Structure formats: structure tokens, C-alpha cells
Amino acid sequence: MSHTVSRTPLWMRWRALVLGATLIASATICEAEVQQIKADGAASNLIVDPGLESQEQFAWREVSVAASERVPTHPHSGGWCLRVSEGSGSVGQANSGRFAVRAGPYYVEAWVRVDPAFPDVTTFDVQFLDAEGAFKGAEHVGRTKSTQWTRLRRKVIVPDGVASGTLRLIPAKSTGDAKGACFADDFYFAPFATAVQEGRTEAWDGLPLPKVGVRLEDDAPFGGRGISTLVWISIP
Ligand SMILES: [Ca+2]
């Protein structure tokens, strides 16, 4: 009768233990984050008629001399999308209808494309207001100068003292000839936990990325022979 005995060097077992422990720590932190944000509530998309399919619910309003309208021009979904145009060169903009928010993490996205007739940059952001309607800051979401549908998305943190928000599109650069136009469709704004539950984003979106490294060593730290490899992961 013979027995097969594992002769795995101690240093190799130690290395596997360190790697396993760090991976478990990483997973634990992500799970804790999910549990924390799940407690924040579960209202779904706060944007009324996000796909611009209803004229009755159309709530976008232009600021300055820009124009906002529903158009059937190659929408991203359904039969309609939003078009915002600014022909005066004064950096006009359009805002969505206001929606109620409170301090905490949210997730926002939209599909945007620049009108080929006015090939310039379009900026997408979120503006915050207090209970009296006073401006309380804005969070940049993204910019594009592509004439193809482009998904602009981001996790945003609504600051304390904010009661409502509004999405904003600025279809022009801020200097020179500021004329521009863009199309947009399929807006989404919801508590971050809801966005995770609905598959819009991942729970670790916006978290600091763990640092992963590989170090070669001339000698194993706890016995063995030859060059060993040490893999490490640190959580910021
Ligand atoms: Ca649509």
C-alpha cells in the first residue's frame, strides 16, 4: 500500500493564502457597499417619459435662445427622440422637467449624438436646486462630438440641501462660434442602488480601484528554491 503525500512547498501555500485572503477582503468590501446603498431606497427611473415617446409628457424647456423639441429623426429607441439646437452662438441649453431627489448616490445616463449639420461638442450634466429653486451646483456627466449614438453615464453624488434636479444638454462649445445641435434619447436617473438592481451599472462603479501588482523575488520567503512570484492586491 502506498500513500501520495502532497509536497507543496510552504511558501507556495503561504502565497495562495495571501492571495485568497485579499480576494475575500475585496469581495467583502464590495458587498458592504451594496448593502449600504440598497438601504437608500428603490424608486426607479425619475425621468418622466425618458424615451421622448409622449408629446403630452414632454417636459424639456430651453434656456436662452436654444430650442428643444421631439423629433422622429433616427431615434435611439421607439419613434422619437429629443433635439436641442442653438443657432445664435450664445451657448443655449435645454433642461428636463425637475425631479425630486435627496442627498446621496445616484446614477445618470443618456444616449446623445451630435447633429451632423452642426458638428460641435455637446455637454450633458445634472443641475441641483434647493427647495426654493436656487442653484446648488452641477455634476458633469459627459461630453461627445460624435454623430453616432453615444452613451454618456456616471455615478453622481447629490449634495446636502438639494431638493430637486434637472438634466441639462448644452449643444455647443463655450468659445468661438457656439452654434450647435444634438439629439438625445433614453434618459435615466435613479438612486444608485436602484440602478444596480436594474442592471444599469455595477455596485463597484465609482469606487476606488484596487491596486494589483506582481513582484518577482529571487528567493522564496519561506523556503523552496528558485524564483517565486508574489501577487498582491491592496484596497485603497
Ligand atoms: Ca425614443
pLDDT, tens only, 73-126:
999 999 999 999 987 777 788 999 999 999 999 999 999 999 998 878 899 999
Q: Give distance in angstroms: CA of 110 to centre of ligand 1.
A: 11
Q: Give distance in angstroms: CA of 167 to centre of ligand 1.
A: 16
Say if pTM beats, i.e. exceeds, 0.75: no
pLDDT, tens only, 158-191:
999 999 999 999 998 666 677 889 999 999 999 9
- Of 177, 108, 174, 120, the C-alpha closest to 147 is 120
Q: Give distance in angstroms: CA of 109 to centre of ligand 1.
A: 14
Judge contact between 112 and 85, C-beta under 8 A: no
Q: Give distance in angstroms: CA of 82 to centre of ligand 1.
A: 8
Range(s) within the chain of domains with CATH label 2.60.120.260: 61-197
Q: Give distance in angstroms: CA of 53 to centre of ligand 1.
A: 6
Rounded Cα gap, residues 108 and 126, in angstroms: 8
Q: Is 7 exposed, middle or buried (0-12, 13-18, 19+ CB in 10 A)?
A: exposed
Tell me phi and psi for residue 44, to 5 degrees: -85, -160
Task: Using alpha carbons only, give the angle 95, 99, 103 rounded to the nearest 5 degrees.
Answer: 115
Rounded Cα gap, residues 84 and 182, in angstroms: 5
Q: Residue 4: its pLDDT value, please?
A: 43
Residue range 61-197 in CATH 2.60.120.260: yes
Q: Radius of gyration (Cα) for the chain, nearest Å? A: 25
Rounded Cα gap, residues 12 and 229, in angstroms: 9
